[in-house]
Amino acid sequence: MNTPPRNGQPDTGPRCLAILGATGSVGTQTLDVVRLFPDRFDVKALTCGRNVDLLAEQVREFRPECVAVGAPSRAQALERALSGIAPDVRILAGEEGLCAAATRSDVDVVMGAVVGFAGLRPVLDALKAGKQVALANKETLVVGGALVTQALDQSKGRLLPVDSEHSAIFQCMLGEPDRSVEDVVLTASGGPFRDRAAETFGEVTVSEALDHPNWSMGAKITIDSATMMNKGLEVIEAKWLFDLTLDQIQVLVHPQSIVHSMVAFT
């Protein structure tokens, strides 16, 4: 899959961003980076699923021209929240709203951080529109890897992996010859239940499953990590991102989480 780090053109100004899933874990961390480098980024669009109160706070600070809420039932609440803050901001809703935010003509880079299947179509539309997509939503590749590959092949869109394991692989592969990868290793912490006796799993509580030993993440990915489902999704993600066979992808439990991934070359 074509995933170059830059578009080959010199930087002439701030990168214009659309952040899909701005109120989630990855979205808020993305805005943390924008705060650190205000001269390098210009936020043009922000979206959320349902958390219109936090989105309104973000609008107050970053002054985007467009916002969207994934749940149409929350559109009126968003309008009320923004009426005294940014009365001129364009407000969109539903899947069409997310796609419109992702394909704005003034957007260079789209952060794809919507949780779950809802992130697929906005990412596809952004790629077809020639955007550079920083993809944090692994479900997009799990359910639509072939569609994403097709969109990349038929457009000028580009994909950059944000997931730490896949970003590590991507960085290891930079500058290496095509088809020189022998295999890759995805590491896994093992989650909170790595050393727990299997016969006690029926007593596991939600709070225990949400208590990851190494990372502070969103609720869904934390639960997926506790069940090891997240690593299964990451295997599928790696297959599509790097055009690998499943035999080329290994998983290694590494409780310290120091190494995120490894690549062996021929």
Q: Residue 136's pLDDT is what? A: 95
- Whether the per-residue pLDDT at 123 is higher than 70: the answer is yes
Task: Report whether pLDDT(2) > 90.
Answer: no
Phi/psi at 108 (nearest 5 deg)? -95, -45
Tokens of 7: 């578009």
User: In this prediction, what percent of the chain has a pLDDT beyond 70?
Assistant: 95
Domain extents for the chain?
A: 15-161, 167-265
Residue 1 has pLDDT above 80, yes or no: no
Check whether 7 has a pLDDT greater than 90. Answer: no
Average pLDDT for residues 164-190, to the nearest whole number?
Answer: 93
What is the pLDDT averaged over residues 22-37?
97
Give pLDDT, residue 11: 58
Give the sheet arrangement for strand 66-69, strand by strand: 90-93, 66-69, 41-48, 15-20, 109-112, 132-135, 158-161
**Whether pLDDT at 45 is above 60:** yes
Whole-number Å distance between alpha carbons of 197 and 252: 20
- pLDDT-based confidence at 179, cuts 50/70/90? confident
Q: Quick one: pLDDT at residue 13?
A: 86
pLDDT at residue 217, as a whole number: 86
pLDDT the model gives residue 149: 96
Q: How confident is the model over 207-247, as pLDDT tens digits? A: 999 999 888 888 888 999 999 999 999 999 999 999 999 99
Segment 147-166 shows an average pLDDT of: 95
Alpha-carbon span 17 to 253, nearest angstrom: 36
Of the chain, the percentage scoring pLDDT greater than 90 comes to: 87
Please list, residue by residue across 215-254, b when 16 or more beta carbons sit within 10 angstroms of its beta carbon and e when fewer do: eebbeebbbbbbebebbebbbbbbbbbbebeeeebebeeb
CATH tag, 15-161: 3.40.50.720
Q: How far is CA 84 from CA 22, 50, 56, 73, 74, in A?
A: 21, 19, 10, 20, 17
Tens digit of each residue's pLDDT (9 = 90 or more) over 84-107: 899 899 999 999 999 999 999 999
pTM of the predicted model as reported, rounded to 2 decimal places: 0.87
Please provide the average confidence, as pLDDT, over all residues in the chain.
93
Q: Give the per-residue SS3 of 37-56.
A: CCCCEEEEEEEECCCHHHHH
pLDDT at 78: 96
